[in-house]
Structure 1
Amino acid sequence: MKGTTNTLRAVPIVAYSVYDYVHNLKGLTYPSEEYVQMRETINTRVAQRLLYLATTSGGIYFKAGQYIGTLERIAPKEYVEVLKVLQDRGPQLPYDKIKIVYENDFKCKIEDVFSEFDKEAIAAASLAQVHKAKLKATGETVAVKLQFPRLRMQTKYDLFVIRKLIDFANYLTKRYNFDGIDFSKFNEHFQNSLVKELDFKTEVVNAERTRKQFENYPNLHIPLNKVTYSSNRAIVMEYVDGVKINDVEALKEKFGDPKIASEMLIDIFAKMIFNHGHVHCDAHPGNILVRPNPKDSKKPQIVLLDHGFYCDLPDTFRLDFCNLWYSMVTMDYSTVKSISFRLGIGEYYRYLPLLFTYRTINATKPLGAPVTKDEIHFLKGKDEVNFEKISFLLQRLPSEVIFIFKAMHIVGVHNARTGGQTRKRLLKFSYDCMDALAHGHSFFYRYWLIAKFWLKLFLFEYSFRLFRYFFGFMEVKFDEKNRAIEEGAAVQ
């Protein structure tokens, strides 16, 4: 019944939203000011419809809204602004309706296992909610994560409907030649993440793998899972108290400088991406707590929650991405180009430095410096960066790169909120990248990579003529029709 209700709600919203774009942008010349203003207005209207769909339908519709709300610098800003409210708190079911999940899975009464069980959830997300409880056998305080009942059956139905809606949206955009946007890539990314999150046993496996990888790392804690009390739809884990990573005032009160916690978080994700190839892909504030380190209460410790969605990078891909990152931060854009073509990104490689390091491929500014107003004006004037081209880029990027970018970006947001520097974050990523590239080589190879990195960075930022002379520099220029022409200023 709920699946039918969701469909009856979703179909007209999606259909009317596509019609809104097609009808109201028809006849407007792209990229005129009138076109851009109208599209921003439509973006806001559509985002508000999606917000309504997410909050009334719940489940994967809520998850989709949350997902879009985190895609800053990817999704249109109007979508992000409207949908980011979904990050704060999800829908919550009454105790009587949620407890049946545990009771059905374990064929017992919840009172048989827990001496205390708070009826009010302490956290609620798109797929589950968490209650504080106490184990009857040991007296230990635990957190109990329970998946919403009938979610699996409902999700299969909703995913089928979403696939059909996306096919319909693609048909209309191609039929009316609306900017050539293809929604299928978003569907692929989202559905891949959702399927992984529905099986809570996968979450336990991911958590244990991360614990093993960071077992000698004192700045990260993964709550212990009580496997004998857990199932595919329920997880009982160690209860951990802490403040959210985005609660800057609480971090100041407890630890003084909030940047200490965000720098720890950067270090953790740098190691995940470049060294371990096992990346937590849902690092929103609700999943990152900061508590006093048990060994030194004056120092913070990161507590990472919700291990349902990870991106696993094969070693060959991980090393390709390490080389891609090293080439971007050392401005070796010819190598960026060759790796990008190998990964299937093609001509859109020239947008990667802008996405990952905030530098256009022509920029000569320092690493970590913000995009200037002149650069924005130039890019818009040359029509080099717009929603359509970013959309095409996303269609070409491998899923792994999308998830890495999302993880890096969310960590960057947390860093900025605590007053951290973009340059320090990019440098930390670069050092872990060089560690990964040096693994298996001689003792001196890492120092050679570091020395070359700093030499190129110093010359690039303080003597660009010398950098260009010794290392070459790929530039992108434009012809009279604003079409990109690649030129190598010098040969390396």
Structure 2
Amino acid sequence: MMQHLSLLKGVRIIRVLSFSNQRCLYTIPSVTSTKASDNTPIQLLLSVWTKRTAVGATLTAVSYYCYEHSSYGASFRHSMQAIHRVSQATWFYLTCQYHDYDGAMVDLEKKKCHLRAAQRVLEGLQRLGGIYVKLGKHVSAMKYILPLEWTTTLADHDGQWVDDIFDWFDWDHPLGVASLAQVHKAKLKSTKTEDGLVVAVKLQHPRLDEFYQMDMDTVSVLLDLITWTFPDFGFQWILQEMQEALPQELDFAHEARNAQQVMSNFDHDQRVNGDPPTALVVPCIIWAQRRILCMEFIEGARPDDLQFMEKHKIDPGQVSAEITTIFSKMMFLHGFVHCDPHPGNILIRPRVTGTTHHRKNFDIVLLDHGLYWTLEHNTWTDYAHLWTSLIRGDEKGIRFYADRLGCRAQSHRLFASLLTGREWHTIEAANLSSYRTATEMERVSGRTGLFLHKIAAILATLPRAVLLLLKTSDLLRHLDETLRNNSSSNATYVIMVHYCARAVWLDTKTTLGKKLDSLRRSGSWSSYFTLFLDYCLAWWSYHSLDWSL
């Protein structure tokens, strides 16, 4: 129903364009009859408007009921606004049609008719927005068909709000087109004292906001049908992930808040924890609305563009190590994780002097902040403990923390292979630092197919936060293998282990601190001594793992 309503809006506006164009091109009839019969202008008007009033009253009653009670009320109200504007444009033509003009006046009145109708349609397009912005742009370009009054009036629609904000806006060559939005280059309005800033403007695709819920319902029905046909399908969790993620990704104001939060987290690492600055750059947000985002324009290349790095003397191994550092901090220290780090959402550029304070010769620009996940404290510390157990090849620890993260009983080995992309014997031998050979990749891939039903069962039981961590780890692993060479194969592993161990150490210190507070109220000397020993053991466990690398 929503699709029909949306189509109706477009059809109505197109009809008024063609109706005004074609009918106004006819010679406006000269009414000369003075008979009191059935062909006078007044009787014609009465006959026409009596019928239209009856139809209009009926439609108004039905429309009011749907307006108030329809489950798609918002979409219906959107349609009513479009019909209202179209009817206004049509009214101006009708008021022009039933006049008696001399020949010299016909052309002048036709021009006035076109202008009035075009202005009304312009008003409707501006009010409706969305896809109608594009419609007005296309109509204004039809100079070979439409009268001048239409093309010039709707050309104002194309640039009215744009010209108020930008010196220029590149509509024809988007910087990038994705499933939900596309990004255009533009330049903000210059002032008398300052040149405008070149920006990137992210625009949500028209109609997504209106129809995504209906599409999600369709996907739900299809998945239910597949599950009914194939009971062992086991991938229904994909729908839940989409249902939770899409509302966030469709809200660009939410994306702007995420971008500010991630920069605040890394700034806190430098100011409070004394960490060295990373090469991370997040484009500055100029302003954000729910479906439009204006941000700083930054040029760069994808991280898998090895020719670009060679040209600018950038070491791909260092890029991989820095990306690992950034995402390890997100996963193990901040608990606020960018969940879509594919190569299209990362840019590499030569370092811009004065804008960053690190010592690398490149910057890592992180884009598309629509999908983040805030991990609960227990989730991110358990995830860190799981990784330290994987690093040590500690099966007991792997089983314990995999269970805490929601993995099915007795499936910890397969879960460990999914998480690391390594065979179990490699994990058990505490040999994750070794290079993943093509043979091992082939074996793991083959076993993934062999254990497909078990994998589906594991994924179905995992919390969504863990699924997103699994996806993020997989994307980072493939990106790392694209960038690094054999000589630097151990570097990214060492970095991740460092932050895993650090997260466990910080969590242990917090726990011991709480125990110390309780002992101060009622504790014996033996309890203090035991606590001191626990502290020393935790300190040694952290530093021995760090030093061993």
In the aligned structure 2, how far is the partner of 1:98 from the partner of 1:144? Answer: 20
Equivalent residue of 1:307, what SS? coil
Instruction: Judge conservation of contact 1:181–1:392 (CA < 8 Å) in 2.
Output: no
Whether contact under 8 Å (2:388, 2:500) holds in the other structure is: yes
- Provide the rounded CA distance (Å) in 1 between the counterparts of 2:444 and 2:352: 51
Aligned to 1:414: 479
Contact 1:244 1:289 in 2 (8 A): yes
Counterpart of 1:270 in structure 2 is 328
Q: Does 1:222 align with 2:279?
A: no
Instruction: Go from structure 1 to structure 2 and tell me whether the alpha carbon gap of 1:374 and 1:214 turns closer, same or farther (over 3 Å shift).
Output: closer
**Correspondence 1:4-403 to 2 at 5 A:** 96=134, 109-119=161-171, 120-137=173-190, 139-174=196-231, 180-215=232-267, 216=270, 217-227=277-287, 230-295=288-353, 299-346=361-408, 347-363=410-426, 364=429, 366-369=431-434, 370=436, 373=439, 385-403=450-468
CA deviation profile, 1:80-102 (whole Å, cap 9, x unmatched): xxxxxxxxxxxxx99936989xx
CA distance, structure 2, for counterparts of residue 275 and residue 373 of structure 1: 34
What is the distance in 2 between the residues matched to 1:294 and 1:377? 43
Shift of 1:132: 0.5
What is the rounded CA distance, in whole Å, between the counterparts of 1:379 and 1:220 in structure 2?
33
Is the contact between residue 248 and residue 417 of structure 1 (CA under 8 Å) also seen in structure 2? no
The Cα offsets for residues 397-439 of structure 1, whole Å up to 9 and x where unpaired, read as 2211221121122122222112245543232111101111222
The residue aligned with 1:427 is 494
Alpha-carbon distance in 1 for matches of 2:214, 2:352: 46
Q: 1:267, 1:282 → 2: CA distance?
A: 16
Q: 1:232 to 1:376 in 2, by over 3 A?
A: closer
Cα deviation, residue 218, structure 1: 4.0
Deviates more, 1:345-354 or 1:296-305: 296-305
Q: Cα gap change, 1:426/1:150 in structure 2, threshold over 3 Å: closer, same or farther? A: same
Q: Which amino acid in structure 2 is aligned with residue 194 of structure 1?
A: L
Contact 2:278 2:326 in 1 (8 A): no
Shift of 1:286: 1.6
User: What secondary structure sits across from 2:183 in the alignment?
Assistant: strand
The whole-number CA distance in structure 1 between the counterparts of 2:200 and 2:444 is: 52
Counterpart residue type for residue 122 of structure 1: L
**Structure 2 counterpart of 1:449:** 541
Distance 1:379 1:414 in 2: 17
Structure 1, unpaired ranges of 5+: 6-92, 101-106, 175-179, 459-492
Residue aligned with 1:244, SS: coil
Shift, 1:149, TM fit: 1.5
SS in 1 for 2:403: helix
1:464 alignment partner in structure 2: none
Same amino acid, percent of matched pairs: 29
* Cα distance in 2 between the residues matched to 1:447 and 1:368: 23
Q: Distance in 2 between matches of 1:301 and 1:378?
A: 34
Check conservation: 1:98, 1:149, Cα contact below 8 A.
no
Give 1:141's aligned amino acid. V
SS in 1 for 2:200: strand
Separation in structure 2 between the aligned mates of residue 378 and residue 299 of structure 1, nearest angstrom: 36
Offset from partner CA, 1:20-60 (integer Å, 9 cap, x none):
xxxxxxxxxxxxxxxxxxxxxxxxxxxxxxxxxxxxxxxxx
CA distance, structure 2, for counterparts of residue 210 and residue 98 of structure 1: 39
The structural deviation recorded for 1:319 is 0.7
Letter in 2 for 1:96: K
Q: How far apart in 2 are the matches of 1:445 and 1:292?
A: 44
Q: In 2, distance between residues paired with 1:165 and 1:99?
A: 37
Paired with 2:183 and 2:430, the residues of 1 have a C-alpha distance of 47
- Check whether the contact 2:501–2:545 (CA below 8 A) recurs between aligned residues: no
- Stretches of structure 2 that go unaligned for 5 or more consecutive residues are 6-130, 139-158, 271-276, 513-534
Q: Is the 8 A contact 1:113 1:136 kept in 2?
A: yes
User: Distance in 2 between the 1:372 and 1:115 partners?
Assistant: 52
Which residue of the partner structure matches residue 24 of structure 1? none
Change (3 A) 1:99 1:224: farther
Secondary structure at the residue paired with 1:226? strand
Give the letter for the 1:221 counterpart. Answer: V
TM-score normalised to the size of structure 1?
A: 0.66
State the structure with more CA Rg.
Answer: 2
The amino acid of 1:262's aligned partner reads S
CA RMSD of aligned residues (A): 3.3
* C-alpha displacement of 1:329: 1.0
Verify the 8 A CA contact 2:407 2:415 in the aligned structure 1.
Answer: no
Larger fraction in helix: 2
Q: How far off its partner does 1:386 sit? A: 2.1
Q: Distance in 1 between matches of 2:136 and 2:313?
A: 37
User: Does structure 2 conserve the Cα–Cα contact (< 8 Å) formed by 1:242 and 1:289?
Assistant: yes
- Residue 469 of structure 2 is matched in structure 1 by 404
> Is the 2:314–2:361 Cα contact (8 Å) retained in structure 1?
no
AA paired with 2:499? D
Specify the code of the residue in structure 1 equivalent to 2:187: K
Query: Are the counterparts in 2 of residues 287 and 304 from structure 1 also a CA contact under 8 Å?
Result: yes
Provide the aligned length of Structure 1 versus Structure 2. 357
With over 3 angstroms needed to count, the CA separation of the structure-2 counterparts of 1:300 and 1:152, relative to structure 1, is same
